[in-house]
Amino acid sequence: MPETLRFDSKRANRFCNAVFAACGCPSAEAAMISEHLVGANLMGCDSHGIIRVCQYVTDVKKGRIVPGAAVTVATETDNTALLDCGWNFGQVGGVRALQCAMRKAESYHISMVTTRRCGHAGRLGAYTQAAAQQGFIALGFCNSPPGDGHFVAPWGGREGRLSTNPMSFAIPCGTSKPILGDFSTAQTPEGKLRLYLNQNRALPPGWIVDAQGQPSTAPADFYGPPRGAILPFGGALGYRGFALGLLVEALGGLLAGTSAVKPVPGNGLALIVIKVSAFLPDAEFASLAEELRSYVKSCPPSPGHEEVTLPGEPDFRVFDDRIANGIPVDAQTWQQICHCAESLGVRWDGIAAKD
């Protein structure tokens, strides 16, 4: 088997859909989760793509995820809501939260929706991107309680006390692609360490420390035992990443009534959605955003760079390439996914044979 395989996104989507249907997901929710994972791979976010299939199936088998569970409104006002996701898949809770936030922002100009008892929500930028494509400015924050891994050491520490706590924003730009920022407040998401481990590659310096607090480039030193820790984003200025991680913890967890200490699973999402036309006409904002884009892009590139790239531009270019040439998956990860699917009676060759 070659070290790297490539898969057509539509086939990969059908395969994942079949896996989640075999887990007991209603058809619409299985499609929602599959599209999200494959979409993450298409955007180059492989750490949150189909590599998560095994994690999700294991969580279902352990009862940490409840397929088809109702997503209900715990509390709400005109422009805020707290959703109880019933331990359904995080993508189901995330999409419901986004739909709620956009609906409220449409009526009341700005909204904020948070979640609790929500599974792993996947690529955070998928939610802000979807809102921007509907003409909203959106901000997203996502925490994890200790049950799903406090991997990130606080500034000056050597043991995990926070999750990788990503944040995202998306700014609509009329008919152009949105400006899309999506990043961990740690040096790396844990899923990327998993990819490096599967691919037997050394990590870039400055990402992790081992259990003794010593810098390491070996993924196994993070996983242990004993476990190491991921460092906060920023290198020598990592106290800034640590500060942002605490902000995400407050918005994604504490505000939803989720303890930062109790070992529960899942993610806490917070989505803020802003209706542009509450401030000025959509067309005027789009013109100003395009003016900003052009002005920033006009900057002469420094040595070693071909151009100035805006947040999201590399991701959209990867999307175009992978739609045309397929999604790359390393052989080790693919074997793990196939083994997991076969435990549910789903085989890749059966899906591929349908073409």
pLDDT classification of 191: cutoffs 50, 70, 90: confident
Whole-number pLDDT of residue 99 = 98
The pair phi, psi for residue 5, each rounded to 5°, is -105, 160
Instruction: Indicate the range of 54-58, 264-268, 274-278 predicted with least confidence.
Output: 264-268
For residue 271, CA distances in Å to 134, 225, 292 come to: 15, 36, 25
Structural domains in the chain plus CATH codes: 1-68+299-355 (1.10.1530.10), 69-187+231-278 (3.30.1370.60)
Do 16 and 29 contact (CB within 8 A), yes or no?
A: no
Model confidence over 220-260: pLDDT tens digits?
Answer: 999 999 999 999 999 999 999 999 999 999 999 999 999 88
Model confidence over 78-93: pLDDT tens digits?
Answer: 999 999 999 999 999 9
Q: Report the mean per-residue pLDDT for the chain.
A: 95
What does the radius of gyration of the chain's CA atoms come to, in whole angstroms? 20
**SS3 per residue for 135-172:** CEEEEEEEECCHHHCCCECCCCCCCCCECCCCEEEEEE
Whole-number pLDDT of residue 2 = 59
Tell me the CA end-to-end span of the chain in Å, nearest whole number.
22
Mean of the pLDDT values across residues 105-125?
97
Model confidence over 168-180: pLDDT tens digits?
Answer: 999 999 889 999 9
Do 87 and 79 contact (CB within 8 A), yes or no?
A: no
Q: Which two tokens stand for residue 128?
A: 């802000």
